[in-house]
Amino acid sequence: MSKLTLDRMLQSQGFGARKYCRALIEDGEVSIGGEVVTDYRAQIETDGLQFTLFDEVWTYREHLYIVLNKPANFECSRKPSHHPGVLTLLPEQFMWREVQPVGRLDHDTTGMLLMSDDGAFIHAQSSPKRHVPKLYVASTHEAVTPALIEQLLAGVQLHDEPAPLAAVSCRAIDDHRLEIVLEQGKYHQVKRMLAAAGNHCAALRRTAIGQLRLDSLDLEEGEWCYLEMEQLALLA
């Protein structure tokens, strides 16, 4: 069982500094169980807590685990330089909670992007030692041939890598699309592997991480959802 004062609880959820949260509470903006609470010092049980703020119901979450269906032309950075950042697609209070992407997708790459404010989770998911498979669909300029598939499965040599990198699996979807699974997570890996194999990546979409598939989440591009424990378990 975990308790916090109401102002600290609101602050922990990203609704602003404690002074601002106290003002919200004293102005009658917060209700719990249908009752307005105006005492910011009230001790609140956080386990399973739901509260209403600005006429919207929120669930208390110690940490945020989010999946975003990333559109093209958004940067995976808290300080984007050339395009909008992916955080602009999330509620504003998530910025206060220092949510950040788990790894990165290029600005023109779309699909499944994990985001969290849990540093241990971010580190674990980003570690190359875990060998979590990631599934991508790549569109190619030149035709997808059996020889291309064979090269990607056998391994191709990239300029800055000591040994060839190989796909875990790879198959043609049609004449100009292939599905490829990687575990290494190297910089621009799919694009560079295709180039090393004599083709060129025209578009790239990540569709799964571990056993969690993006199409199981029913998200349009630009939409996001919370990941619950059973979904987090699929990332292992």
Does this chain's domain 65-128+212-233 share its CATH topology with 133-209? yes
Q: Which tens digits make up the pLDDT trace of 69-128? A: 999 999 987 777 888 889 999 998 998 999 999 988 888 999 999 999 999 999 988 877
Mean pLDDT computed over 192-211: 94
Report pLDDT for 89.
95
Element (H, E) at 61: none
pTM of the model: 0.90
Mean pLDDT computed over 13-28: 95
* Maximum distance among all Cα pairs of the chain, rounded to whole angstroms: 70
Compute the CA torsion angle 85, 227, 122, 194 (nearest 10 deg): -70
CATH architecture of the domain formed by 3-59: Roll (3.10)
Q: Show me where the domains of the chain are located.
A: 3-59, 65-128+212-233, 133-209
State yes or no: pLDDT of 185 exceeds 80: no
Residues near 129 by beta carbon (within 8 Å), at least 6 away in sequence: none
Per DSSP, the chain holds a count of helices (H) and strands (E) of: 7, 15
| Contacts of 212-218 spanning 24+ positions with Cβ under 8 A | 212/67, 212/112, 213/135, 214/67, 214/69, 214/111, 214/112, 217/67, 217/69
Nearest to 40 by CA among 21, 15, 14, 60: 21
Q: Which residues are tagged catalytic?
A: 106
Report pLDDT for 1.
59
**Collapsing DSSP states into helix, strand and coil, what is residue 130?**
helix
- Kindly indicate whether the domain formed by 133-209 is annotated with CATH number 3.10.129.10: no
Q: Which tens digits make up the pLDDT trace of 37-57? A: 999 999 999 999 999 998 899
Radius of gyration (C-alpha) of the chain in whole angstroms: 22
d(C-alpha 119, C-alpha 44), whole Å: 25
CATH architecture of the domain formed by 65-128+212-233: 2-Layer Sandwich (3.30)
- Give me 52's structure tokens: 């209403």
Pairing, β 201-209 against β 110-116? parallel
Q: Compute the Cα dihedral for 194, 217, 52, 4 and give only its sign.
A: negative
Instruction: Supply the mean pLDDT for the chain.
Output: 92
Say if CB 205 and CB 137 are below 8 A apart: yes
- Give me 205's structure tokens: 């979409």
Nearest to 46 by CA among 97, 96, 9, 8: 9
